[in-house]
Amino acid sequence: MVCSQRRQRNPPGSPDQPRRPKTTRRLLQRAIQPEAQKRRGNPHRQEYYQGLPRGVCQRTSLSRFHQGCHCRSPVEFPAAPTGGNRASRGEGRSSARELEEVSYYYLVASLPALVLGENPPVAPESFRFSCIGVLNESDLRDLDLILAGRADQGASEFAQSWFAADAQLRNAVARQRGTRLGVEARGYQKDHPGFSVSIEKAVTDAFAKGHPLERELTLDRTRWQLLDELTLKEPFGLPAVLAFAVKLQLATRWAQLKDEEGLKRVEDLVGKMEAQG
């Protein structure tokens, strides 16, 4: 005799109720979980920390990262703690270094874009003033040396690299002009570390220009490109700040040649260059 009575299901939570395996439950939970909740941490964290060193991203919280500031202006952070045992002093130095990196990041992010041949939106003096309180003492000294054309006395890696590149470019220019005038250029050469074939080629291409002013503009464009290459490793660090200072000088120089007094200087410069060949 077939029993037509349906089998009663055990109520939920009953000890006789069969349970799904843990892996099945986890898969179901992941399937119904919203996509935004699957992400760990703040979903905007990646946006705020983009371009910063990994150590800063991992150890600096968002509230501390944006402490009392706007994203377009440099930040003033509290000084690192002093005293204590060796571990606390080491932690304080590490924290101060990370906060310094963040300050440099904000400084570079607030700098305007520069175009060679157009009026720069900021004067070199104003830019130097904005670096006070952001750059440390050693880096501020390197900035002053670079603005004064004495990068060889700088302590940073960028200062030494820029001195070597610019010195080689100037040596190549002296050799080109000496060849045209039939003058030995050895007495005008500066010693510098390293050698770049691309710089020699760029100077040769510049002197292939017919007009002397085009040569100068091509040479400064080469300098501009060299500065960009020197900032690739640290696009938001000290190299970017120092490179901006040199670019600002170049842009200011060409902008000043547009006024009436500047045009007179251009005529004198062209006449002098044509006399030199």
Q: Which two tokens stand for residue 69?
A: 């500031």
Q: How many CA atoms lie within 13 A of 140 on its CB side?
A: 11
Q: Which two tokens stand for residue 2?
A: 């077939």
**pTM (2 d.p.):** 0.66
Q: How many CA atoms lie within 13 A of 27 on its CB side?
A: 5
Above 80 in pLDDT, residue 20?
A: no
Maximum pairwise Cα distance, the chain: 123
- pLDDT on residue 50: 53
Please list, in sequence order, all residues whose beta carbon lies within 8 angstroms of the beta carbon of residue 237, skipping any fewer than 6 positions away. Answer: 101, 104, 105, 108
Please report how the helices 212-230 and 238-256 are oriented relative to each other, as an axis angle in degrees rounded to 10: 170
pLDDT tens figures, 179-234? 887 777 777 788 899 999 999 999 999 999 988 889 999 999 999 999 999 999 99
- pLDDT on residue 8: 53
Please list, in sequence order, all residues whose beta carbon lies within 8 angstroms of the beta carbon of residue 220, skipping any fewer than 6 positions away. Answer: 116, 250, 253, 254
Above 70 in pLDDT, residue 172?
A: yes
Domain boundaries, the chain: 52-108, 116-276
pLDDT tens figures, 33-83? 544 444 444 444 444 445 555 555 554 444 444 443 434 444 333 333 444
